[in-house]
Amino acid sequence: MNIVMFTNVYTPHVGGVERSVAAFAQAYRRLGHRVLVVAPEFPGQPQAEQDVLRLPAIQNFNGSDFSMVLPLTGLLTDALDAFQPDLVHSHHPYLLGSSALRIARYREVPLVFTHHTQYEHYTHYVPVDSPALKRFVIELATCYANLCDQVFAPSESIADLLHERGVTAPIAVMPTGVEVDRFVRGDGRSFRASLGIPDEAFVVGHVGRLAPEKNLEFLAEAVIAFLRTEPCAHFLLVGKGPSESTIETVFAHAGLSERLHHVGILEAQGLTDAYHAMDVFAFASRSETQGMVLTEAMAAGVAVVALDAPGARETVMDGRNGRLLHTETVDSFRAALQWVAGRTPEQRRELGRACQETGLAFSMDRCAERALSIYQGLLDRDHGVRHQDDEPWTGIANLIQAEWDLLVGKARALGAAFADDEAPRDNNRP
Q: What is the pLDDT of residues 211-226, one digit of tens each?
A: 888 999 999 999 999 9
**32-36, 131-135, 320-324, 367-371: which has the minimum mean pLDDT?**
131-135
**78-87, 256-265, 403-412: which has the minimum mean pLDDT?**
403-412
Burial class (CB in 10 A: 0-12, 13-18, 19+), 15: buried
Is residue 419 over pLDDT 60? yes
What local confidence, expressed as pLDDT, does residue 427 receive? 44
What local confidence, expressed as pLDDT, does residue 428 receive? 41
What local confidence, expressed as pLDDT, does residue 394 receive? 67
What local confidence, expressed as pLDDT, does residue 123 receive? 65
Is residue 325 over pLDDT 90? yes
Structure-model confidence comparison of residues 50 and 184, the more confident one: 184
- The chain-wide mean pLDDT, for the chain, equals 88
Q: For residues 59 and 67, is the Cβ–Cβ distance under 8 A? A: yes
Q: Which helix (H) or strand (E) holds 128?
A: none
Q: Which amino acid is at 398?
A: N
Rounded alpha-carbon distances, angstroms, from residue 62 to 127, 128, 232, 235, 291: 8, 11, 41, 31, 25
The pTM score is 0.78
What contacts 24+ positions apart, CB below 8 Å, involve 326-333?
A: 328/218, 328/284, 328/286, 330/218, 330/221, 330/222, 330/225, 331/225, 333/218, 333/219, 333/222, 333/225, 333/226, 333/282, 333/284, 333/305, 333/307
Q: How confident is the model at residue 70 (pLDDT cuts 50, 70, 90)?
A: low
Is residue 73 over pLDDT 70? no
Architecture of domain 2-177+365-418: 3-Layer(aba) Sandwich (3.40)
What lies within 8 Å, CB to CB, of 249 at 6+ separation is none
Is residue 430 over pLDDT 50? no
What local confidence, expressed as pLDDT, does residue 75 receive? 67
What local confidence, expressed as pLDDT, does residue 162 receive? 95
Range 22-51 average pLDDT: 91
Instruction: Determine the length of the chain.
Output: 430
Using one digit for the tens of pLDDT, what is the confidence trace for 157-204? 999 999 999 999 999 999 999 999 999 999 999 999 999 999 999 999
Residue ranges of the chain that CATH labels 3.40.50.2000: 2-177+365-418, 180-362
Range 41-64 average pLDDT: 75
Using one digit for the tens of pLDDT, what is the confidence trace for 224-239? 999 999 999 999 999 9
What local confidence, expressed as pLDDT, does residue 429 receive? 38
Q: How confident is the model at residue 269 (pLDDT cuts 50, 70, 90)?
A: very high
Is residue 382 over pLDDT 80? no
Q: How confident is the model at residue 403 (pLDDT cuts 50, 70, 90)?
A: confident
For residue 16, the SS3 value is helix
Range 306-335 average pLDDT: 95
As beta bridge partners, residue 69 has 57
Q: For residues 24 and 370, is the Cβ–Cβ distance under 8 A? A: no
Instruction: Report CA torsion sign: 86, 178, 146, 419.
Output: negative
What local confidence, expressed as pLDDT, does residue 423 receive? 45
Q: How far apart are CA 12 and CA 151, in angstroms?
A: 26
What local confidence, expressed as pLDDT, does residue 129 receive? 65
Is residue 411 over pLDDT 70? yes
Structure-model confidence comparison of residues 352 and 137, the more confident one: 352
What lies within 8 Å, CB to CB, of 179 at 6+ separation is 23, 364
Structure-model confidence comparison of residues 67 and 336, the more confident one: 336
Structure-model confidence comparison of residues 70 and 196, the more confident one: 196
The DSSP code sequence of 241-259 is STTHHHHHHHHHHTT-GGG
What local confidence, expressed as pLDDT, does residue 19 receive? 87
Q: For residues 321 and 339, is the Cβ–Cβ distance under 8 A? A: no
Percent of the chain at pLDDT exceeding 70: 87
Range 250-270 average pLDDT: 96
Closest CA to 20 of 90, 124, 97: 90
Range 265-285 average pLDDT: 96
Q: Which amino acid is at 384?
A: G
Is residue 396 over pLDDT 70? no
Architecture of domain 180-362: 3-Layer(aba) Sandwich (3.40)
When computed from its CA atoms, the radius of gyration of the chain, rounded to whole angstroms, is 22
Q: How confident is the model at residue 422 (pLDDT cuts 50, 70, 90)?
A: very low
Q: Which helix (H) or strand (E) holds 233?
A: strand 233-238
Using one digit for the tens of pLDDT, what is the confidence trace for 91-124? 999 889 999 999 999 999 999 999 998 877 666 6
What local confidence, expressed as pLDDT, does residue 68 receive? 61
Q: For residues 92 and 37, is the Cβ–Cβ distance under 8 A? A: no
Is residue 278 over pLDDT 60? yes
